[in-house]
Structure 1
Amino acid sequence: MPLPGAADNVLRTPCRLIIDPAASGAWNMAVDEVLFDWTGQTGRACLRFYRWDQPTLSLGYFQTYELRRGHQPSAGCPVVRRLTGGGAILHDRELTYSLALPSTHPLAKKRLALYEAVHQTLAEVLAEWRVEASLHPAGDPCPAGAQPFLCFHRRSPGDVVAGGVKVAGSAQRRSATAVLQHGSVLLDRSRCAPDVPGLADLAGPGIDDRALIGPWLRRLADRLAFAWYEEPLSEAEQAAASKLVETKYDNPLRTRHRGRAGAIH
């Protein structure tokens, strides 16, 4: 069966597609960084979908580690630090994506437009399940004072909101040659973050990662003019990711003190 967006690829840009099985937080973040580098080196786009093999708390790059002690439901979960900013995310019953674009792409330097391109297509897919979702408006001012610890307790322009609940959010990282945007779609409530609802609370249990990916790929292909081609990690990329796990993402010093154990682009 051809991939969505592959049939009429004459006017489309090829985009590498990876759909990975569940893995550890350290591995997932390492692979995102490897693909971010790959896009910067090759000038080619890459989209990856993945899951997590156990409930995991990811901290935004600039968050203070000590804040995680105030979130008791996730106290027993492993912690990883992302290469993007924003609030902490409890990754459990969700679908996660990462999209890397070369700096030459028209959306690479348009922060909000890139959020909107990805999130609007997700909202359109959710409408197929009769979930009325919209994007949080850019003109809505952020509340004064400290931001909540968890990303899904915050509201940022472009977030996907349904029934007053944030169900998807993303963050970005830029280098001179590429931009990485990765984000989470909450499929269901996690016992490790019980006060954060998911799509199952709005539409029942019918929306899962397998049901979501196909329709989302079709809409993303149309919106971004991409033609998907599947290409898993090479042996060299797997080795590079393993090295990053060892030196950075599974390194307690780096997790607790951002940037002290290996630089991020």
Structure 2
Amino acid sequence: MARWRVIIDGPKSASFNMAADAFLFEQAETHSPDPVLRLYAWDRPSITIGHHQRLERAVDRQKLGETPVVRRITGGRALLHDDGEITYAIAGDFRRHPMLGDTLAASYRLIAEAIIRFYQALGRPAEMAYRDDPVLLSGGGGFQKGCFASVSRFEITADGRKLAASSQRRG
């Protein structure tokens, strides 16, 4: 069984958090023999947008004021990160570590199962979505809906609401 490296970071800026995730991803592809779990927080409300999103369709910059907006190395849609949130990143070479899942779907399922066990250990209800709910891709004014506007397969829900989201990138 592989050893995991665990990094627990306190609140950091959006730019730092995304740069750290990118660094860990690069290291996983080239140097790191062990998978890494990074848990972190945000020093102020911040928005991340998916790797392939167009900024002008993802957020209305005029309404955001000084809220930082940064791009993730993973996919997905715009997401507001706020106080009290715990964010995770997992970086590892899935070819060397089968426990990361050999497909995107397998990875999503394995990660969701672990997060659900965590919620349940805290006494909180949580379950896995097994199908995609219809996604309304366009919001008002031509902006795309945010990440929590819909539920995708293997995301975590409770009482019909999305609790946690995941996005991935494979090298």
Q: Mark yes or no: TM-score above 0.5.
A: yes
Segment drifting more, 89-98 vs 101-110: 101-110
1:156 aligns with 2:145: no
1:103 aligns with 2:112: no
The CA distance in 2 between the partners of 1:81 and 1:137, in whole Å, is 28
1:126 aligns with 2:96: no
The CA distance in 1 between the partners of 2:22 and 2:67, in whole Å, is 22
> Once the 2 structures are TM-superposed, how far is the Cα of residue 116 of structure 1 from its aligned partner?
1.6
Question: What amino acid is aligned across from residue 163 of structure 2 in structure 1?
Answer: V
Question: What amino acid is aligned across from residue 19 of structure 2 in structure 1?
Answer: A
- What RMSD, in angstroms, separates the aligned Cα atoms of the two structures? 2.1
In the alignment of these two chains, the number of paired residues is: 162
What corresponds to 2:15 in structure 1?
Answer: 26
The CA distance in 2 between the partners of 1:149 and 1:143, in whole Å, is 8
Q: 1:147-192, CA deviations, whole angstroms, 9 ceiling, x for partnerless residues? A: 85210112111110011111101100111xxxxxxxxxxxxxxxxx
Structure 2 gaps, min length 5: none
1:167 aligns with 2:169: no
Matches within 5 A, 1:78-97: 78-93=68-83, 94-97=85-88
Rg larger in structure? 1
Q: Which has the higher contact order (CA 8 A, sep 6+)?
A: 1
Contact map agreement 1:101 1:108 (CA 8 A) in 2: no
What corresponds to 1:225 in structure 2?
Answer: none
Secondary structure, aligned partner of 2:119: helix
The CA distance in 2 between the partners of 1:143 and 1:19, in whole Å, is 33
Contact map agreement 1:57 1:88 (CA 8 A) in 2: yes
Matches within 5 A, 1:177-196: none
Q: 1:70-101, CA deviations, whole angstroms, 9 ceiling, x for partnerless residues? A: 894x4431110111111111111310000012
Structure 1 gaps, min length 5: 1-11, 176-265
Segment drifting more, 23-32 vs 61-70: 61-70
Question: What amino acid is aligned across from residue 156 of structure 2 in structure 1?
Answer: V
> Once the 2 structures are TM-superposed, how far is the Cα of residue 129 of structure 1 from its aligned partner?
3.5
Q: TM-score, normalised on structure 2?
A: 0.85
